[in-house]
Amino acid sequence: MTQLLAARRGEITPAMRRVAEKEKVSPEFVREGVAAGTIVIPANINHKSLDPIGFGKGLSTKVNANIGTSTSFPDIERELDKLQVVLEAGAHAVMDLSTGGEIDKGRKRIIEESTIAVGTVPIYQAFLENREKRGSMISMSGEDLFEVVERHCADGVDFITVHCGVTLEVLGRLKQQTRITDIVSRGGSFLTGWMLHHGLENPLYEQYDRLLDICLKYDVTLSLGDGLRPGCLADATDRSQIQELIVLGELVDRARAKGVQAMVEGPGHVPLDQIAANIQIQKTLCKGAPFYVLGPLVTDVAPGYDHITAAIGGTVAAAAGADFLCYVTPAEHLGLPNMDDVREGIMASRLAAHAADLVKGIPGAMEWDNEMARARKNLDWEKQIELALDPKKAARIRKERNPENHEACSMCGDFCAMKVVAEYLGKETESC
């Protein structure tokens, strides 16, 4: 029994009740959203440490963080340290994108230690295992791919990114399309190489019902990946991207009919004035399925600051209806992120998510800002730090840059506007 099938039967599951409690909405609101497919609750039956979180319409905007080994940095202990940063920094999901070291062992440990939803991209491991066993990634078969998919799901992964929309028809359109960066999705590029080499259809598309059966067995949420997402502004919203999205919309329908939860992934690099249109197109073609976007990044020229370019785009996307933001770190386009990069990326995306939630009217969003405003008026530094998006950073800056027990801050010193106005108006500060 998946969350979706239970919701359609009128059943409010413990996971739905927990999501409702966190979101300050009624359990029935969550159940209706899950039944309609506009809310998903990634909750694999084998992920025992999970504290369920909902993603979708009417809920607060969520943030994902990526971790995982590479061939250059295969140490899983390093990634488990990053997981603790992810949890402490307040991300709502984590994806293990490992491509090096003991991938199975690392994934199991991440699932054991994570209280938030865990996602993976099984095709990475399927191709890498074939390279190790047979000397070529192209040697992978459909059976190899589905064996890895089931392995991930059986281990307790809550959602899987699968590039089902990269079809021979879509690739034919890509060949006719002039793109600067072609394909920047790693999974999309692996599949494209395999399909063009063998002249065969994408197994994830051709055997989609088999994929649905696996997800149904473990209640795994499909995250339908955008293998043709734009890798630069010039490639945004082109025919190849939209053709793939049309296919994904059809696959959302098939997943829902089967009782499998599904969300859809989106771009990528998108000019600021095209972001809202991208969200509207997705929501229309995919019938309101939760939308999971990478950024989007609004310029291509900011290596080292791409967490900021993504936060700008993420705010616009979420305000327009995107439900789930994949973080981007300062190391994007440059190298594997370290723990500081992970934290900065999460905070930038959480900031974008909250700014959008204020526009969406999400319960509790404006109340948080109002509490902070009152604390500032009262020069209540303890409360301000407690309410801060990143209390650790706020406390550190406050301590480092102000004299001990100084009521105002060193920016204004004796000329604190809050203090001066209160004195001249004869007002006493009030408690929150």
Q: What region does 56 belong to: left with phi over 0, alpha with psi -120 to 50, or beta?
A: left
188 labelled as ligand-binding? no
198 labelled as ligand-binding? no
Any bridge partners for residue 120, and if so which?
A: 96, 160
Q: Enumerate residues 6+ apart whose C-beta is below 8 A from 349.
A: 63, 307, 310, 311, 314, 325, 326, 327, 328
401 labelled as ligand-binding? no
305 labelled as ligand-binding? no
265 labelled as ligand-binding? yes
409 labelled as ligand-binding? yes
75 labelled as ligand-binding? no
* Tokens of residue 347, six digits: 């905070």
CA–CA distance, 191 with 88 (Å, rounded to integer): 35
Question: Position 192: which residue type?
Answer: T
Residue with token string 């084998």:
46
202 labelled as ligand-binding? no
327 labelled as ligand-binding? no
292 labelled as ligand-binding? yes
432 labelled as ligand-binding? no
Judge if the upstream peptide bond of residue 296 is cis by omega within 30 degrees of 0. Answer: yes
* Tokens of residue 362, six digits: 């999400």
CA quadruple 305, 361, 261, 93: dihedral positive or negative? positive
66 labelled as ligand-binding? yes
424 labelled as ligand-binding? no
229 labelled as ligand-binding? yes
Q: Which letter does DSSP use for residue 227 in this model?
A: T
* Tokens of residue 356, six digits: 């959008």
227 labelled as ligand-binding? yes
CB contact burial 93-110 (16+ within 10 A = b; e otherwise): bbbbbbbbbebeebbbbb
232 labelled as ligand-binding? no
215 labelled as ligand-binding? no
412 labelled as ligand-binding? yes
Binding residues for substrate are 66, 95, 124, 163, 185-187, 226-229, 265, 292
Binding residues for Zn(2+) are 269, 333
Binding residues are 66, 95, 124, 163, 185-187, 226-229, 265, 269, 292, 333, 409, 412, 416
Binding residues for [4Fe-4S] cluster are 409, 412, 416
